[in-house]
Amino acid sequence: MREYILRRLVSMVPVLFIVSLVSFGLLYVLPGDPALAILGENGSPERYQALRRELGLDQPLYMQYASWLGRTLSGDLGKSVRTNEPVADILWRRVPVSLYFGIAGLLCGIAIGLPAAIISAIRPGTRLDLFGTVMALGGVAIPSFWQALLFMYVFAVMLRWLPPSGYTSPFVDPVMSAKMLFMPAVVLGTHSAAVIMRQGRSALIEVLEQDYITTARAKGLREKVVVGAHGLKNALIPVVTILGLQIGNLVSGAAVTETVFAIPGVARAAVDAISFRDYPVLQGAIILLTASVIIANLLTDLTYGYLDPRIRYR
């Protein structure tokens, strides 16, 4: 197990290296100039050239990348060109917010998708199964931004049950925090719930047709025990795989959700950085989000061994 984890951690290095190349290349792919964005249209040519030298933009590309990579490996992600604040401090404040909403969205997807999958699997072809299938297709098809705006209109504007946007720490005001959490969590979890439902239904139907399930029923075990203790655990392996893949979708969906609901998370910082051409913040956010997806996939692989003891890591 330790050797497997070590190999996986080592394999993360080339992935992060490629991502660092891509994120650094954004400096030249995206339109605009950081120095010009800082100075505005009223900046003098002399001040513009001096600022480019200060930011290191006058150096050759390979020297800029080597300097940036060296600072990044040492934990220095640079400073924001907009606020002159260390990027690491900006992202560090936003990580708990993104985790708060991301975990809530994932739990929401599991809480909706898994029970729907079980109900559809034990009653295939019924109206409940058809209803769950239609809802799953709708959850996959509906755009996140449209669903977010629809929720805001219904729950915040029409019914006035929930605040339309914003973030309040659960340590400051738990009730208000829960109200602000509801809509973003459901929006984030909708797509995950739909995928979990379809994949879980298919896996559980296949498992319930196995001989050991027939034997368990022949012994007189209750259907809840047969499905929950014998069938569900084996059916969860493909579902866990889907959950690992959904981490990436949560990260991409968080950019839309955090922007619409004005949530000060990491994805929102990346979106704002694009708008203000704040390249250091954008580069740091990309590296952080990529590392989180890789670590989530590693944890997903390690979960397989718990669900199926026959799996061995080599």
pLDDT digits (tens, 9 = 90+) for 218-241: 888 787 777 777 777 777 777 777
Model confidence at 67, in pLDDT bands (50, 70, 90)?
confident
pTM confidence score = 0.78
Domains in the chain: ranges and CATH: 87-307 (1.10.3720.10)
Residue 86 pairs in a beta bridge with 79
The amino acid at 84: N
Provide the token pair at 145: 């931004």
The pLDDT of residue 249: 62
The pLDDT of residue 305: 63
pLDDT at 245 over 80: no
d(C-alpha 233, C-alpha 52), whole Å: 58
d(C-alpha 211, C-alpha 122), whole Å: 16
Provide the token pair at 177: 């925090």
Mean pLDDT of the chain: 80
pLDDT at 313 over 60: no
The pLDDT of residue 39: 66
The pLDDT of residue 191: 81
Contacts of 100 (CB under 8 A, 6+ apart): 170, 181
Question: What does R_g of the chain's alpha carbons equal in angstroms?
Answer: 24
pLDDT at 314 over 60: no
d(C-alpha 5, C-alpha 61), whole Å: 35
The amino acid at 144: S
Mean per-residue pLDDT for 97-104? 87
Nearest CA-CA partner of 236 in 204, 273, 269, 277: 204
The pLDDT of residue 295: 79
Q: Give the range among 177-181, 226-230, 254-258 with minimum mean pLDDT.
A: 226-230
Mean per-residue pLDDT for 51-78? 76
The pLDDT of residue 1: 64
Q: Percent of the chain at pLDDT above 90?
A: 2
The pLDDT of residue 250: 67
d(C-alpha 142, C-alpha 190), whole Å: 9
pLDDT at 29 over 60: yes
In this structure, how many other beta carbons lie within 10 angstroms of the beta carbon of residue 116? 25
Model confidence at 307, in pLDDT bands (50, 70, 90)?
low
pLDDT at 263 over 60: yes
pLDDT at 120 over 70: yes
In this structure, how many other beta carbons lie within 10 angstroms of the beta carbon of residue 143? 10
The amino acid at 116: A
Mean per-residue pLDDT for 278-293? 82
Q: Give the range among 125-139, 275-289, 294-308 with minimum mean pLDDT.
A: 294-308
The pLDDT of residue 20: 81
Residue pair 22/287 in contact by the 8 Å Cβ criterion = no
Q: Give the range among 194-208, 266-280, 299-313 with minimum mean pLDDT.
A: 299-313
pLDDT at 262 over 60: yes
pLDDT at 36 over 60: yes
